[in-house]
Amino acid sequence: MMFCFSIDALSPSGANAWRLQENQQWRPCIYAEALQAGDARITDKKAAEAWVNLKLKKDKALVFTAQKKAGRFDFLMRGTYAHTVLHRLSSAALPDKAQMLACFKQLQAGTPWLVYLNIAGQFKALNTQQTSIMNNLDIAVRGEIASSEDYVGPVAAANAQMMDDLYRQFLAGWLEHLKSSNMNVFVPDLEKLPEHDETIGAICNWQHEQ
């Protein structure tokens, strides 16, 4: 899988955006638009994570100065913030249900797990007591944090209806991630899901950037 991240600064209203260039200047852009010549392309996730939710101060000459990271409780995100935008330069995988089931089955109840799809379309789980979710650019699509055996572990994996529903939710979230380039996309509610075949078809027909 070929990918890179761009850095887009978004105004408080969301009406204006700017993209970081290779020469460290910024150009006006449409948020999350396709890459253009001269755009900075970051391939190291850790380097890109340093920009996530970084507050920026802009002057009239389009000079952006880093201020501070948004905190855990900065819900309103007032001001201009940097956002990392994922650009896929090769096709995207169709997440595999069998791999999802295996992921859920091996989890131990009693630990607050987050099951998620990484940017390669693979189901992964992280222990939220040990690994931060904030600014984590491995998380493309995320479910809810769960620790009960009804939701993680062998008992949960054997619940065919719940697993079917979760797979449909993750696929719909994956499609939203592909279309928007947003990270940390929450799986949508069941009642808001499109037809399953429609989602699969849209994922298979999705086109990466050239």
Q: What is the pLDDT of residue 76?
A: 53
Distance CA 177, CA 174 (A): 5
Distance CA 36, CA 20 (A): 11
Q: What is the pLDDT of residue 75?
A: 43
Question: Cβ distance 141 to 104 under 8 Å?
Answer: no
Q: What is the pLDDT of residue 1?
A: 72
Distance CA 71, CA 65 (A): 18
Count Cβ atoms within 10 A of the Cβ of residue 105 and give its class: 0-12 exposed, 13-18 middle, 19 or more buried. Answer: middle
Q: What is the pLDDT of residue 70?
A: 59
Q: Which residues of the chain have pLDDT under 50?
A: 73, 75
User: What residues have CB less than 8 Å from 82, skipping those under 6 apart?
Assistant: 7, 8, 9, 51, 52, 53, 54, 55, 56
